[in-house]
Amino acid sequence: MSTPPDGLPAYRVLTGPDDAAFCRRVSEAIALGYQLYEGPAVTFDGERVIVAQALVWPAKR
């Protein structure tokens, strides 16, 4: 597949608390065919750890 399914963009950033739901969202994107772009960004909002993970759709050459 040369483009992401369901009209999704080729570049996505998923964000949220560092919990099982966030990990599932990233895992679902990988299962669709996205690839991780670099490592995650992590911060602390005073109460919990917040994570951001960029994903890209692989370019077909």
- Summarised one tens digit per residue, pLDDT across range 5-47 is 989 999 999 999 999 999 999 999 999 999 999 999 999 999 9
- Whether the model pTM is above 0.95: no
Specify the pLDDT at position 61. Answer: 55
Helix, strand, or coil (residue 14) = strand
Helix (H), strand (E) at residue 27: helix 20-32
Helix, strand, or coil (residue 17) = strand
Q: Could you give the CA distance from residue 5 to residue 40 in angstroms, rounded to a whole number?
A: 23
Q: Is residue 41 a contact partner of residue 30, using CB atoms and an 8 Å limit?
A: no
Integer CA distances (angstroms), 2 to 10, 12, 31, 49, in order = 10, 16, 15, 35
Instruction: Inform me whether the pLDDT recorded for 60 exceeds 80.
Output: no
